[in-house]
Amino acid sequence: MLPFRRAVSLSIAILTFIQLGNAQNAWLDSLRMDLSTQREDTNTINTLLFLSWSFQCCYPDSGVAYALKAIALSEKINNDSLLFSSRSALNASLDYTGDYPMQLDNTFKGLSLARKLNTPYSDGYSTSLLCEFYYNIGQYDSSMVYGRKVAWAIAVYDPEIVPMAWILLAKLFTGTGHLDSAVFYSRKALQHLPATRKKAGSDNQFQSLYSFSYPIVGNAFFGDHQYDSALYYYRLGEIKAEPIQHFLDMMDDYTGMSETFHVLGHDDSAIYYSSRVLHNYTLVAYPAAKLKAATILANIYESRNIADSALKYLHVATGLKDSLFSRDKMIAIQQTAFNERQKQQELASSQAAWQNHLRTFGIIFTIVVLLVIVGVVVAQRRKKQLMAMRNKIADDLHDDIGSTLSSISIMNELAKAKSPEALPLLTTIGENTLTLQENMSDIVWAVNPGNDSMNSVIERMNEFANSILESKNILLDFDSVTSVSSVRLSMTQRKNLYLFFKEAINNAAKYSNARLVYVLLTKRDHLISITIIDDGEGFDPDRIVAGNGMATFRRRATELNGTADINSVPGKGTMVKLEFKIT
């Protein structure tokens, strides 16, 4: 029962910790001294974690103690990520000490913490907690489910140490009895293990990957009845584990060797190795390995009919088993597992209820929205239909009026030829008719919403000015700023601007005798300004009779909430200006 997470966590530990090498007691002692003098902060926690990991592979109960301290401190300073690391460290040591209820509790706490942290690392790690726990209590199939997830996570997030993922799979397959796969993955892992050298950092760390992996490989081959290979790997494991004092791995190697020798019939060797496990590692809290060793010894002595030795080791085994799998402990484990499942179910059902709620609400909401949309669309369509009808009526009316006016104009013209003496009257009729036609045309143009851009206005102004001024041989220079062409005007604005312009041009054409008319249309912020200048006779502003012209200018300006300016110097010219604001 080995922690496979260790390899994964090693790559994390490497980042934060220094050499996990030869745990020299003196050095550790000095570290312990540092602890007592340090203030309680992240440095302390990191040191505690370092100690926990250092002891985890040889004296796991010390590993547990330090991990617990780290947990307490992390909770105190409310650091979630350090808390998670602490819980992971605790689990690693608990794997060996065999305190499974505590491990279950720690696992679930780690899981909820991982959910909170929500990083791929915490996710993968917490899955491995579950995987380990199920493996430890013998539920290999459940363990496999999580193990696959962990292996996948390693392959995705830390592909450099993917051989350790394969070792994990090998271990799990050995547990579920798929020995072919176990052997396959073992071989694959060993083949690619040298490639992790870079990730491992130091030599010792690299060694520990081997020290950890060989017993697992040995177990795989043992399970597949390849006993010679199994022995071979156990021996390799011993060679790797001894220099770096990974007692736990060594115990695994020895129990593996003992079991293999027992199966092969070399009971003396089997006794030798199992005895080593029980007697040389009294300080090491690894009851699972000792249980295995004791069981082997009991079996051997029983088969040799040496009753008292058999009984002695049977007692040892029973005692160990009790401490590992006492009835109370099993009940406690199952109770916690049950509670956890209850919680999950409640969560799931409340989520389902909530989703149902949301769905119903969503449906109602959608229906309401649809109804509203339909209502709006129908209303809009009605409005459009009404407007279209109105427009049609208006168009027909205009057409009728316009055509009839035109006919009057024509008749008038023909009458002029027939009755020369009525010429003055007829001319008046003609002019009035023309004015009427012009005005109607202007109104139709202004009312058309398609003409709301300044460009349309400029176009019309140009057309008008050109036609009027050209016949009087006055040059027109129409200038506008580019920023003004994008402006949109309301109906009133268009109408007033255009009519103002018309008035100004008409005046210039009629009275000024100018050679040139210059028009400038500008926009500054929200201020539109049009200036019409001519170089004609001008007039004396003081002496002008307030005829219709002046009043018209003022009226246009007022309607636009703007200002109109008229300036003239006799002999020099006239300037007419209109300014108004747009939103």
Which residues of the chain form contacts with another protein (CB under 8 A)?
395, 398-400, 402-414, 417, 430, 434, 437-438, 440-441, 444-445, 459, 462-467, 470, 478
Shortest Å distance, C-beta 458 to another protein: 9
Rounded CA-CA distance 464/444 in Å is 15
Q: Which is nearer to another protein, 75 or 470 (CB)?
A: 470
Under 8 Å between Cβ of 151 and 165: yes
**Which residues make Cβ contacts (< 8 Å) with residue 22, sequence separation at least 6?**
204, 244, 245
Q: DSSP labels for 341-359? A: HHHHHHHHHHHHHHHHHHH
Q: Which is nearer to another protein, 14 or 444 (CB)?
A: 444
Q: Which is nearer to another protein, 230 or 465 (CB)?
A: 465
Q: Which is nearer to another protein, 297 or 461 (CB)?
A: 461
| Residue 229 neighbours by CB distance under 10 Å | 19
| Residue 204 neighbours by CB distance under 10 Å | 16
Shortest Å distance, C-beta 479 to another protein: 11
Under 8 Å between Cβ of 243 and 233: no
β partners of residue 574: 534, 568
Shortest Å distance, C-beta 518 to another protein: 14
User: 132-162 burial string, b = 16+ CB within 10 Å, else e?
Assistant: bbbbbbeebeebbebbbbbbebbeeebeebb
Shortest Å distance, C-beta 454 to another protein: 14
Q: Which is nearer to another protein, 342 or 441 (CB)?
A: 441
**Which residues make Cβ contacts (< 8 Å) with residue 152, sequence separation at least 6?**
none
Q: Can you read off the two tokens belonging to residue 222?
A: 């043992």
Rounded CA-CA distance 48/75 in Å is 14
Under 8 Å between Cβ of 140 and 172: yes
Shortest Å distance, C-beta 558 to another protein: 28
Q: Which is nearer to another protein, 31 or 487 (CB)?
A: 487
Q: Measured between alpha carbons, how far is residue 558 from residues 10, 497, 576 in Å? A: 84, 11, 15
Q: Which is nearer to another protein, 40 or 395 (CB)?
A: 395
Burial class (CB in 10 A: 0-12, 13-18, 19+), 14: middle
Q: Which amino acid is at 274?
A: S
Shortest Å distance, C-beta 391 to another protein: 11
Q: Which is nearer to another protein, 330 or 447 (CB)?
A: 447
Q: Can you read off the two tokens belonging to residue 349?
A: 């059902």
Shortest Å distance, C-beta 413 to another protein: 4
**Which residues make Cβ contacts (< 8 Å) with residue 564, sequence separation at least 6?**
500, 553, 554, 556, 557, 576, 577, 578, 579
Q: Which is nearer to another protein, 303 or 406 (CB)?
A: 406
Q: Which is nearer to another protein, 363 or 475 (CB)?
A: 475
**Would the CA dihedral through 266, 268, 274, 277 be positive or negative?**
negative
Shortest Å distance, C-beta 192 to another protein: 57
Q: Which is nearer to another protein, 372 or 394 (CB)?
A: 394
Shortest Å distance, C-beta 501 to another protein: 13
Q: How many helices (H) and strands (E) does the chain have?
A: 22, 5
Q: Which is nearer to another protein, 360 or 406 (CB)?
A: 406
Cα dihedral value 416, 420, 423, 426, nearest 10: -40
Shortest Å distance, C-beta 424 to another protein: 17
Shortest Å distance, C-beta 348 to another protein: 56
Shortest Å distance, C-beta 349 to another protein: 58
